[in-house]
Amino acid sequence: MKKLLHPVILTIIMTALLLVLPYMLPSRVIKVFDDEQLRQVALSGNMLSIPTSYEKLLEVIDNPQNPMSKEKIALGKELFFDTLLSKDKSINCASCHVLEEGGDDNMAVAVGHQGRKNPFHLNSPTVLNAALAQSQFWNGSAIDVEEQAGGPIQAPFEMNMTPQEVEQRLNADSVYVAKFKAIFPQKKVTFENVRKAIGAYERTLLTRGAYDDFLDGNNSAMSPEAKRGMTLFMTKGCKGCHTGMSVGGQSVQKFPLRNYPSDYLGLLFSPDINLKNSPFPFENKGGFLGRNNILEFRVPILRNITKTAPYFHNGAEEELEEVVRIMSKYQIGEEFSPKQIDEVVAFFKTLEGELVKYEIK
Ligand code: HEC
Ligand code: HEC
């Protein structure tokens, strides 16, 4: 009798164990941190707060190949807002990167010279805090803001100029010539120095918000809900990609990381959504497939993310909640509950910030 019971009980125990095991795995456990522990998780992962003083800013962000100076930053600012850099003198950098509204244009796809849309249906990313990134553009193809600035000026669907045209126009303007001469060794305005001046200005476009105050020690800067969202973000794997002072921009990563055949099976029966040919969990508008066409994208910067809808490289998603759901399912393999999604969005609100008014010396 004993011998007979044994396997039966064993099977029951084994089945029960198998059923509860997934819930006991570390990744399923939701960590509870006190404020100091939560802060340390971020800080120890190099997720530091934005500097408040110009001296600190220089330590963090100055480029030895393009040292910042008061005059260079002022010149870069003037160029950033000057429509002279576009073919028909109607577009400036701020046309697509509105500093007061999250540093982007709030459109799904960027529209430039004579209403031309970005041919890959690319969404304008924010310029705010972009200087903190390790690479620029959705495929990470520019190494820094100085190199990046040459791109939009020349793109036929953005400002549509050649470097020679830019040089000619600026050299015909004696005020600009004098300003460049006072800063750079060259006698004339060069395209390279245009890029450098704009880059120096962009290095000052950093924003601070409640999240920074919390990192700096103010426990009441964030609500309990936002802290729970931040805990999820820090412990469930989001931080693995969206990291550093800019909360993103530090690496190029695969997206989507996971595939669920069931998604695509379901689509066979829903003719409304044209995702059958999309490698993404959203419409493949524009056909852009990232670096080397292998679904590798520069990880977006999440500072000010609540202000930069629509989302993803092609602007296919409007709702931040849906974006967080997609990320949790496809990037960390653990779909967040609606409550968890709200918590993460509450955390994202603390990443909203104001431009720091540096006392530039
Ligand atoms: C027509 C709209 C448009 C104009 C004008 C424009 N941009 Fe952009 N910007 C974009 C788009 C779209 C991208 C993404 C392109 C890509 O990834 O290939 C981008 C990317 C960037 C990035 C990279 C951000 C990141 O995190 O990767 C920076 C920085 C930037 N632009 C700065 C500028 C500057 C400086 C100017 C003016 C010289 C400018 N932009 C003009 C639309 C525009
Ligand atoms: C393996 C790296 C990786 C992980 C882990 C990851 N992300 Fe992302 N995330 C990306 C990439 C790459 C994109 C850009 C995808 C695209 O635009 O096609 C992105 C895009 C986003 C966006 C949209 C940004 C924008 O400007 O359009 C948000 C918001 C976001 N992620 C939040 C999260 C959250 C929350 C988590 C954790 C649940 C997470 N991510 C985990 C790599 C990652």
pLDDT tens-digit readout, 125-140: 999 999 999 999 999 9
Does the beta carbon of 247 lie inside 6 Å of ligand 1?
A: no
Q: Which of 205, 183, 186, 179 is nearest to 69 (CA)?
A: 183
What span, in angstroms and rounded, lies between the C-alpha atoms of 246 and 49? 9
Which of 63, 99, 117, 148 has most ligand 1 atoms within 8 Å of CB, for mutation? 148
Spatial CB neighbours of 22, under 8 Å, sequence gap ≥ 6? 28
**68: pLDDT strictly greater than 80:** yes
pLDDT band at 330 (very low <50, low <70, confident <90, very high): very high
CB neighbour class for 297 (10 Å; exposed up to 12, middle 13-18, buried from 19): buried
What span, in angstroms and rounded, lies between the C-alpha atoms of 72 and 283? 42
Q: Alpha carbon of 330 to those of 235, 237, 270, 323, 327: distances in Å?
A: 16, 12, 21, 10, 5
Does the beta carbon of 96 lie inside 6 Å of ligand 1?
A: yes
Interval 149-176 mean pLDDT: 97
**Average pLDDT of the chain to the nearest whole number:** 93
Interval 290-306 mean pLDDT: 98
**290: pLDDT strictly greater than 70:** yes
Q: Which of 287, 303, 297, 290 is nearest to 331 (CA)?
A: 297
CB 291 within 8 A of CB 126: no
Q: Write out pLDDT tens, residues 180-197.
A: 999 999 999 999 999 999
Does the beta carbon of 288 lie inside 6 Å of ligand 1?
A: no
Q: According to the model, what pLDDT value does residue 3 have?
A: 60
Interval 59-67 mean pLDDT: 96
Q: According to the model, what pLDDT value does residue 276 have?
A: 65
Residue 80 tokens read as 């950033």
pLDDT band at 15 (very low <50, low <70, confident <90, very high): confident
pLDDT band at 179 (very low <50, low <70, confident <90, very high): very high
Interval 93-109 mean pLDDT: 96
Count the Cβ atoms, other than its own, within 10 Å of residue 14.
10
Count the Cβ atoms, other than its own, within 10 Å of residue 137.
19
**What is the four-CA torsion angle of 40, 332, 229, 98, rounded to 10 degrees?**
100
Degrees to nearest 5, angle at CA 243 with 200 and 33: 135
| pLDDT above 70 coverage of the chain, percent | 93
Q: According to the model, what pLDDT value does residue 102 have?
A: 96
**305: pLDDT strictly greater than 60:** yes
Q: Write out pLDDT tens, residues 228-264.
A: 999 999 999 999 999 999 999 999 999 999 988 777 6
What span, in angstroms and rounded, lies between the C-alpha atoms of 154 and 75? 20
Which of 127, 242, 288, 293 has most ligand 2 atoms within 8 Å of CB, for mutation? 242
Atom of ligand 2 nearest to the CA of 344: 35
Q: According to the model, what pLDDT value does residue 355 have?
A: 97
CB 350 within 8 A of CB 211: yes
**267: pLDDT strictly greater than 80:** no
CB 61 within 8 A of CB 48: no
Q: Given the structure tokens 């930069």, which residue do they identify? A: 308
Interval 151-172 mean pLDDT: 97
Q: How far apart are the first and last CA of the chain?
A: 89
Q: Which of 76, 95, 90 is nearest to 145 (CA)?
A: 76
Q: According to the model, what pLDDT value does residue 27 have?
A: 55
Does the beta carbon of 145 lie inside 6 Å of ligand 1?
A: yes
Q: According to the model, what pLDDT value does residue 268 have?
A: 66
